[in-house]
């Protein structure tokens, strides 16, 4: 009888321990480690350059003398139409690719350009080449600013004026600077470099844009405690639980990067 009673007590104790473990779980902590948080997103964009159209001076057959993407000084003969030279008015980069929007795009148009209207601006690219017939007054190419071009980027991602971005288009990366934060979720980004292929860019779909990475301890937004006095994290340090004040370095898509956590501390990830 006593033996059965002891067994019953042991079973009850075992069940109690199991219930205590299941219904009163221990808090979980994770070692705080500094790392880099990459920040990138995809967006549509509209490319704008300082462009001057190249016009055929007469009817005739065109002979191209300067190749696509070559930079030339002012007063350079870049082509012949019949026996008449085509001469540049200023220095720039030659492009024989054009879409007919070169003379239309201006500040007023850009201020009203919204993402839903991009399809209307997605015009086919025309290419001039030696041997084709052209008519007087017809656009045959364009002279592009040697250095700067701009993107109107359609995105609700936060940015500040002067912030540097890396823009990846067709596998090639360009460094840009945010010049203006516009209305209707738009950013004006200036890119101070030029490659011949960008002369054909106008409407760009789902390009990759990368902000400068953040460095620090990365936590979920739900872990951060924010009060009027500042920001805090629950940590365990030297076997003591405490609320640690931290500095918020930045935020990105549900993550927060902080510093101010002592080395070797653990961050509360799952409370009791």
> How high is the pLDDT of residue 271?
72
DSSP state of 26: P
Tell me what the pLDDT averaged over the chain comes to. 86
Of the candidates 154, 223, 169, 208, the residue with the CA atom closest to the CA atom of residue 38: 208
| Residue predicted with more confidence, 148 or 10 | 148
Give the mean pLDDT of 210-225.
93
**Is the separation of the CB atoms in 267 and 217 below 8 Å?**
yes
Q: Which option is the CATH number for 25-37+215-270: 3.40.50.300, 2.40.420.20, 2.40.30.10, 2.170.190.11?
A: 2.40.420.20
Q: How far apart are CA 177 and CA 56, in angstroms?
A: 36
**Is the separation of the CB atoms in 37 and 43 below 8 Å?**
no
> What confidence tens digit (pLDDT) does each residue in 238-248 have?
888 999 999 99
Report pTM.
Answer: 0.74
Q: How far apart are CA 234 and CA 225, in angstroms?
A: 8
Give the class (CATH, top level) of 40-214: mainly beta
- Would you say residue 272 has pLDDT above 90? no
Under the banding of pLDDT at 50, 70 and 90, the label for residue 116 is confident
Q: How far apart are CA 149 and CA 36, in angstroms?
A: 30
Token output for 12: 């009850």
| Residue predicted with more confidence, 66 or 194 | 66
What three-state secondary structure class fits 203? strand
CATH 2.40.420.20 domain locations along the chain: 25-37+215-270
């Amino acid at each position: 009888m006593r033996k059965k009673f002891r067994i019953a007590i042991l079973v009850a104790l075992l069940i109690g321990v199991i219930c205590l473990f299941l219904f009163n779980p221990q808090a979980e902590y994770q070692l705080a480690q500094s790392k880099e948080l990459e920040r990138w997103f995809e967006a549509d964009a509209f490319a704008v350059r300082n462009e001057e159209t190249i016009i055929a001076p007469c009817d005739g057959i065109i002979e191209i003398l300067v190749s696509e993407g070559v930079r030339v000084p002012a007063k350079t003969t870049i082509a012949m139409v019949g026996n008449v030279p085509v001469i540049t008015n200023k220095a720039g980069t030659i492009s024989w690719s054009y879409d007919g929007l070169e003379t239309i795009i201006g500040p007023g148009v850009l201020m009203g350009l919204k993402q839903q209207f991009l399809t209307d601006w997605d015009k086919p690219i025309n290419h001039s080449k030696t041997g084709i017939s052209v008519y007087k007054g017809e656009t045959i190419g364009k002279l592009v600013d040697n250095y700067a071009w701009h993107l109107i980027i359609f995105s609700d991602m936060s940015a500040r004026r002067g912030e540097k971005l890396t823009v990846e288009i067709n596998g090639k990366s360009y460094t840009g600077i945010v010049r203006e934060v516009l209305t209707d979720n738009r950013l004006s980004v200036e890119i101070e470099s030029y490659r011949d292929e960008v002369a054909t860019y106008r409407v760009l779909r789902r390009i990759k844009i990368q902000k400068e990475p953040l460095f620090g301890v990365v936590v979920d937004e739900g872990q951060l405690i924010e009060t009027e006095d500042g920001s805090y994290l629950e940590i365990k340090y030297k076997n003591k639980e405490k609320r640690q004040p931290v500095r918020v370095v930045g935020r990105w898509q549900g993550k927060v990067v902080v510093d101010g956590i002592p080395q070797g501390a653990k961050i509360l990830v799952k409370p009791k």
